[in-house]
């Protein structure tokens, strides 16, 4: 339909895939992602050796693991960014079905690894967290439903997308994983707003989310404990938040020096959820601001490029992916500085991880594919067609 209205993008006969990809890809955003991955490797060298020593492993075991999964994630990002939006949409629908089934089966076949939340499948040699892969394909599926609902005679896509969002959030709450559930609902809400939803409806849904939070606080000891710890006037210095807060305070502007930080010896998740505390302590505020700047740059640049996109599906899917990417980073860093309640959420491309970094590569690859340069034509071209 879009091609009928705006005209198909010209394609050169026999134009190779790689040159065409290089001409149209957002090289600055891609450089920002590679920069985040490089900083993640640098921080991994500082944060992971103490954990490897405690577990009786080679000092650089987790660094090697991060390089392996990170390299695979970058490869996934490159391959995905070369795909067409149509191919991404088709593959995302299939991936969503597989991830949704895997998420639903977690209570029966999953494991919690002693962390109190059943979020993983143990594969023996590795673990698999289906919620990480569900997030980006969920965004693409809902964007497709909303875009289809905008067509004349189209299905009630917004309602269907809302049902899907509620089902996914419900399965995440069962684990429990309230942070991922909030991120899923946020991504859906952003796309719903961009698709033209009324503010009354947006605030009504926000009220429902607040109500659900109150119910969760009164019915879930796990949820209530984290909220109470966040609202407490004093921070227990022996908790993860306490260690992270002290590390950030000690780091100051330039840090205590490479390898001189102490928080990595105290925090079990220093290489994952609290990697920003290691960065703040050893390298100071300078590196933290650089990381924040890279996340802001990739997110805002992607959103700016999407403002020029006229295909509703591409615009909605790209907006959802960009906002999810930025907000996940904000949640991770907000927890470390006690602006948000404790939540086990990684910092994309910076934290050590398996499922999380691979899923981040997939999400950013789709975002780069959606923000590739496409001939859109001027607005005068559209009005001129009716003359």
* pLDDT at position 382 over 60: no
**Which are the contacts of 4, defined by CB distance < 8 A and separation ≥ 6?**
none
As a whole number of Å, the end-to-end CA separation of the chain is: 20
275 within some domain: yes
30 within some domain: yes
8 within some domain: no
Q: For position 285, what pLDDT does the model report?
A: 92
**C-alpha–C-alpha distance, residues 207 and 216, integer Å:** 14
Please tell me what DSSP assigns to residue 111.
Answer: B
Average pLDDT over residues 144-169: 89
3 within some domain: no
243 within some domain: yes
Instruction: Return the closest-CA partner of residue 366 out of 74, 134, 83, 100.
Output: 83
Residue 184: band (very low, low, confident or very high) from pLDDT cuts 50, 70, 90: very high
Residue 383: band (very low, low, confident or very high) from pLDDT cuts 50, 70, 90: very low
* pLDDT at position 136 over 60: yes
Residues 75, 363: contact at Cβ < 8 Å?
A: no
Q: For position 125, what pLDDT does the model report?
A: 67
209 within some domain: yes
User: How many domains does one find in the chain?
Assistant: 1
Q: pTM here?
A: 0.88
2 within some domain: no
Residue 57: band (very low, low, confident or very high) from pLDDT cuts 50, 70, 90: confident
Strand partners, 120: 111
Q: What is the CA radius of gyration of the chain?
A: 22
| Per-residue pLDDT tens over the stretch 279-311 | 999 999 999 999 999 999 999 999 999 998 889
Average pLDDT over residues 186-193: 92
Q: For position 384, what pLDDT does the model report?
A: 44
Average pLDDT over residues 251-278: 82
Task: Name the phi and psi angles at 162, rounded to 5.
Answer: -65, -40
Average pLDDT over residues 59-69: 89
Most confident of 4-8, 86-90, 183-187, 330-334: 86-90
Residue 28 neighbours by CB distance under 10 Å: 11
381 within some domain: no
Domain limits for position 202: 16-376
| Per-residue pLDDT tens over the stretch 252-262 | 888 888 877 88
Residues 273, 345: contact at Cβ < 8 Å?
A: yes
* pLDDT at position 192 over 60: yes
């Amino acid at each position: 339909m879009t091609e009928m209205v705006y005209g198909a993008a010209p394609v050169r006969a026999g134009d190779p895939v790689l040159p065409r990809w290089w001409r149209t890809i957002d090289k600055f955003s891609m450089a920002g992602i590679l920069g985040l991955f490089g900083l993640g490797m640098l921080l991994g060298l500082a944060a992971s050796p103490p954990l490897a020593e405690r577990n009786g492993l080679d000092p650089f075991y987790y660094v090697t693991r991060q390089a392996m999964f990170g390299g695979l994630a970058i490869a996934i990002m490159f391959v995905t960014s070369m795909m067409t939006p149509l191919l991404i949409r088709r593959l995302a629908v299939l991936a969503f079905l597989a991830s949704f089934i895997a998420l639903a089966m977690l209570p029966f076949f999953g494991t919690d690894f002693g962390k109190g939340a059943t979020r993983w499948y143990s594969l023996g040699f590795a673990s698999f967290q289906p919620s990480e892969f569900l997030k980006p394909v969920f965004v693409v599926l809902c964007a497709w439903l909303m875009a289809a609902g905008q067509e004349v005679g189209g299905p009630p896509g917004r309602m269907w997308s809302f049902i899907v969002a509620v089902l996914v959030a419900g399965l995440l709450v069962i684990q429990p994983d309230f942070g991922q559930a909030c991120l899923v609902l946020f991504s859906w809400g952003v796309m719903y707003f961009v698709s033209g939803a009324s503010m009354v409806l947006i605030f009504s849904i926000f009220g429902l989310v607040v109500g659900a939070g109150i119910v969760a606080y009164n019915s879930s000891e796990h949820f209530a404990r984290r909220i109470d710890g966040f609202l407490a006037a004093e921070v227990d210095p022996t908790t993860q938040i306490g260690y992270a807060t002290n590390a950030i305070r000690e780091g100051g502007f330039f840090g205590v020096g490479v390898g001189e930080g102490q928080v990595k010896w105290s925090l079990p998740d220093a290489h994952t959820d609290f990697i920003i505390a290691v960065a703040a302590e050893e390298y100071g505020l300078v590196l933290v601001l650089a990381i924040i700047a890279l996340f802001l740059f990739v997110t805002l640049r992607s959103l700016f490029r999407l403002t020029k996109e006229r295909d509703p599906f591409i615009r909605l899917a790209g907006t959802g992916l960009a906002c999810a990417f930025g907000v996940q980073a904000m949640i991770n860093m907000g927890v470390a500085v006690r602006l948000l309640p404790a939540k086990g959420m990684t910092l994309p491309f910076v934290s050590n991880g398996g499922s999380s970094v691979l899923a981040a590569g997939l999400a950013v690859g789709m975002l780069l594919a959606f923000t590739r340069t496409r001939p859109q034509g001027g607005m005068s071209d559209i009005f001129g067609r009716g003359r």
